[in-house]
Amino acid sequence: MEILLKRAYEKPEPKDGFRVLVDRLWPRGKKKADLRLDAWTKDIAPSAELRKWFGHDPKRWLEFCRRYKNELKDPEVRATIAQTIHAARKRNAITLVYGAKDTEHNEAIVLQRLFRRIASSQSSLSKACASAAES
């Protein structure tokens, strides 16, 4: 499964697959229908404190990543990510939708790596289960 990134202000496309808003706040000026979301996973977004501290300052990017990865270790957050991937299992892609202007320094970049890792492990587990069921 492919994990894509897209700004909320870009036009949705069929190739986006399962579209998930990964921001805690709704993108300014966007209507629900405009985004064509399959899910909004507010609870996996950075905490309000971390988001405000970061302020999309590229100088704080590495420290933001470290702190955010620490927040993402929460079992409830991991469960939400796993459930999102499971919900998207019949699609070819998951698109993580975010509102930030900066396409190189935002939480979706951190999440993309984690989604890929969890999707890969789910896929491996599914294949192992299918193989065991056949024998």
Residue 122 has pLDDT above 90, yes or no: no
**How far is residue 17's CA from residue 74's CA, in Å, rounded to a whole number?**
27
120 pLDDT band (50/70/90 cuts)?
confident
Q: Which domain holds residue 62?
A: 2-134
Percent above pLDDT 90 for the chain: 86
- Residue 128, burial from CB neighbour count under 10 angstroms (0-12, 13-18, 19+): exposed
Q: Domain total for the chain? A: 1
Give the per-residue pLDDT at 110: 97
pLDDT tens figures, 44-90: 999 999 999 999 999 999 999 999 999 999 999 999 999 999 999 99
Question: Which helix or strand (DSSP H or E) is residue 134 part of?
Answer: helix 107-134
Mean of the per-residue pLDDT values of the chain: 91
List 40's β-bridge partners, or say none: 21
39 to 26, 50, 82: CA distances (angstroms): 12, 23, 13
- Mind giving me the DSSP string for 41-102? -GGGSPPHHHHHHHTT-GGGHHHHHHHHHHHTTSHHHHHHHHHHHHHTTTSSEEEEEE--S-
Task: Kindly report whether the global pTM for this prediction surpasses the value 0.85.
Answer: yes
- Give pLDDT, residue 130: 46
